[in-house]
Amino acid sequence: MTARLSNLSPTRIEKLETFLIERWCLLRIHCEDGTVGTGEAGVHGWPRPTAAMIDEMTSYLVGRDPSTIEHHAQALQRHSHFMGALVGGAISAIDIALWDIKAKRYGVPIYELMGGRTRDRVRCYMHAKGDTLDELVADAVAKKRQGFTAIRFSPFAPDYHLRKSFEEWVSEAERRVGAVHEALQGDADICIELHRQMNPAESIALAQRLRKFHPYFYEDPMLPDSPAMMGDVQARSGLPVATGERFSSIFEFQELLANNGCAYVRPDVCLCMGLTGSKKVAAMAEAHHVKVIPHNPLSPISTAACVQLDACIPNFALQEYTGESDPPKRDMVVQPLVLKDGYLEVPDAPGLGIELNDTALARLRLREVVTEPPIGRDGSVQDW
């Protein structure tokens, strides 16, 4: 039974606890009444600095009321002269955990406190990979057979940065997209991920070759540092651009939308000020007739938070899904979300709808990753 606000006994934040697992930074917030909320920070390239940022914010949070979520986000973001990804990632983890706490105290899913559900299940897209053309096609077909109706892949081979000519590069990309399109036989949408590996002129030229395959989206066709230029790419490419996964504030999304820079926004709930910030992004996008495809390369905590967002917004389109059925993800939660025919069921359980598995957390460790960007034929750093 849902509790009324007046019936809830007061509680305070007691402690914060971070876990560095694989390449992820997870967070637990413990309250004095025993309620525990779980969150995740989205700066997966720099988990240690993100955990340190959360630790810096602990002195502000301990002893405070966990229910005033927006107030805490404003205080943590605006008390300093500096913003950015580490700050946004840390606040996102805190925001998600505080929503988890609040919803658990009311005995309802988070989406019930954010407007209620708009759907019963969430359509997902799955990644297909393959070094060779045959491997890529085989993996895409395998994902279709698993029930996914949208499949995302890169049109570039892993050695893209060693290309000899532009023509060689785009011709190979066209062959890869065409082969996947033919193999799927219209049973699944194709989603093209460029990973910011092209400049605007290059991505526009490639788009002209790929229009005939009708991709569902054309993701990150350039670096996301110029909303005006992204708007030009969207207009001249003739394909629906999806972007925004690197943004850590609503203001960056506002500039993107004002420049007609995309057909789909890609907020990362673990980076863009949590569920609170992502709900704001979704509302701004709705006013521009733009749909939402949340970014989700992280742990099951991120996936669960995304589903809570997807469940309560009217302009949801697709959810990135990276495989909760494989280790270590399958071991991290006690009761995973239910995936059926390429859709995640919207859970009815309180809070995020999942709980971390303490046994698994005790044995999982941070995976050390050495930063090794692709190096081109001329010795220059390339994007990946």
pLDDT tens digit sequence for 23-75: 999 999 999 999 999 999 998 888 999 999 999 999 999 999 999 999 999 99
Question: Is the Cβ–Cβ distance between 192 and 217 less than 8 Å?
Answer: yes
SS (HEC) of the chain: CCCCHHHCCCCCEEEEEEEEEECEEEEEEEECCCCEEEEEECCCCCHHHHHHHHHHHHHHHCCCCCCCHHHHHHHHHHCCCCCCHHHHHHHHHHHHHHHHHHHHHHCCEHHHHHCCCCCCEEEEEEECCCCCHHHHHHHHHHHHHCCCCEEEECCCCCCHHHCCCHHHHHHHHHHHHHHHHHHHCCCCEEEEECCCCCCHHHHHHHHHHHHHHCCCEEECCCCCCCHHHHHHHHHHHCCCEEECCCCCCHHHHHHHHHCCCCCEECCCCCCCCHHHHHHHHHHHHHHCCCEECCCCCCCHHHHHHHHHHHHHCCCECCEEECCCCCCCHHHHECCCCCEECCEEECCCCCECCCCECHHHHHHCCECCCCCCCCECCCCCECCC
Ordered structural domains, the chain, with CATH: 5-109 (3.30.390.10), 112-351 (3.20.20.120)
pTM beyond cutoff 0.75: yes
Phi, psi (deg, nearest 5) at residue 100: -60, -45
Q: Is 185 exposed, middle or buried, given 0-12, 13-18 or 19+ CB atoms closer than 10 A?
A: exposed
pLDDT band per the 50, 70, 90 thresholds, residue 365: confident
Euclidean distance between CA atoms 20 and 47, whole angstroms: 7
User: Is 187's pLDDT higher than 70?
Assistant: yes
Per the prediction, the chain carries an average pLDDT of: 94
pLDDT per position as a tens digit, 216-236:
999 999 999 999 999 999 999
Q: Going by C-beta distance under 8 Å and a sequence separation of 6 or more, which residues neighbour residue 154?
A: 129, 192, 193, 194, 195
How much of the chain, in percent, has pLDDT values that exceed 70? Answer: 98
Token representation of residue 220? 């990150």
Q: Answer for the pair 371, 28: CB distance below 8 angstroms, yes or no.
A: no
Please give the torsion angle defined by the CA atoms of residues 371, 375, 381 and 384, in that order, rounded to the nearest 10 degrees.
Answer: -60
**Both structure tokens of 305:** 């938070």
pLDDT band, residue 370 (cuts 50/70/90): low
The mean pLDDT of 346-375, rounded to a whole number, is: 89
Look-up of token digits 């229009």: 211
Helix axes 85-106, 47-61, angle to 10 degrees: 60
- Count CB atoms within 10 A of the CB of residue 248: 24
Q: Pick from 225, 283, 217: which is nearest to 259 by CA? A: 225
pLDDT for 69 equals: 97
**What pLDDT, on a 0 to 100 scale, did the predictor assign at position 335?**
87
Average pLDDT in the 138-160 region? 96
Instruction: Please state the rounded mean pLDDT for residues 241-256.
Output: 97
For 290-330, write each residue's pLDDT tens digit: 999 999 999 999 999 999 999 999 999 999 999 888 888 98
- What is the pLDDT, as a whole number, of residue 1? 41
The share of the chain scoring above pLDDT 90, in percent, equals 83
Cβ atoms within 10 Å of 162's Cβ, excluding its own: 13
